[in-house]
């Protein structure tokens, strides 16, 4: 069933930046499909959004599950017939913190982090791209991190020079590469693909030491989801400013 209203799928929408992104985007009139790892969490999130007057649906989506990704595509196809906005928000942090002995990173740690932060995003985007191509102005937002900037990591004077966790940083750098490649592939379409750095935000991952509040952390994703036809594609953005790859 085709609809004029914009439809957005947000992964990891049940808490933190994902939930705030859903709130802010839903407040603009976009229909929100709030995805979470369990149906209960997804339904509870949708109920919270509906209580604020937002048109919302809950969707079970463990992003590392191929079956869940296929089921999500089926749901969106049958319910809406298209997808206008995909926000790949779900992600995991390194279990070793941000100052580990990187030469000792294990295969298990690399596989765990890359499975969610890269492979699942590639798989979900591939699954949903046919629906995004049915949108008049598809938008794909990949939640990256400034810690994925190789340029800044290579600069000993940069503010992130001392925060090196190869599993996490490498997964986000690879995600940035995917953004560049996908944006190039889609350059002759109305679809725009960008990486978002939300900032260092007070979430479970960011901890209370972070300087930014959650509402501010969602602003970059929301802005990229609502880009006009003249907006950028294939860029790495934080609050309207371009970051170095």
- Tell me the catalytic residues: 168
CA–CA distance, 151 with 153 (Å, rounded to integer):
6
The 241-242 sheet, strands edge to edge: 56-60, 31-36, 7-10, 85-88, 139-143, 192-196, 236-238, 241-242
Q: Name the burial class of residue 158, with classes exposed (0-12), middle (13-18) and buried (19+) by CB atoms within 10 angstroms of its CB.
A: middle
Among candidate residues 9, 1, 3, the one with its CA nearest the CA of residue 225? 9
CA–CA distance, 48 with 135 (Å, rounded to integer):
27
């Amino acid at each position: 069933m085709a609809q004029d209203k914009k439809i957005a799928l947000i992964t990891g929408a049940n808490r933190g930046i994902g939930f705030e992104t859903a709130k802010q985007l839903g407040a603009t009139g976009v229909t929100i499909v709030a995805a979470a790892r369990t149906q209960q969490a997804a339904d509870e999130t949708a109920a919270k959004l509906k209580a604020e007057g937002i048109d919302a649906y809950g969707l079970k989506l463990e992003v590392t599950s191929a079956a869940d990704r296929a089921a999500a595509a089926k749901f969106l196809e049958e319910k809406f017939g298209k997808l206008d906005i995909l926000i790949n928000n779900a992600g995991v942090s390194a279990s070793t913190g941000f100052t580990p002995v990187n030469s000792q990173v294990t295969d298990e740690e690399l596989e765990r982090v890359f499975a969610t932060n890269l492979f699942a995003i590639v798989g979900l985007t591939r699954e949903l791209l046919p629906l995004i191509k049915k949108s008049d102005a598809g938008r794909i937002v990949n939640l990256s991190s400034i810690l994925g900037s190789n340029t800044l990591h290579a600069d000993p004077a940069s503010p992130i020079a001392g925060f090196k966790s190869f599993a996490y940083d490498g997964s986000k750098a690879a995600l940035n590469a995917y953004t560049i490649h996908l944006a190039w592939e889609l350059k002759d379409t109305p679809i725009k693909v960008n990486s978002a750095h939300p900032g260092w935000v007070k979430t479970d991952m960011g901890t209370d030491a972070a300087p930014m509040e959650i509402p501010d952390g969602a602003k970059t994703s929301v802005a990229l989801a609502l880009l006009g036809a003249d907006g950028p594609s294939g860029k790495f953005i934080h609050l309207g400013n371009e970051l170095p790859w």
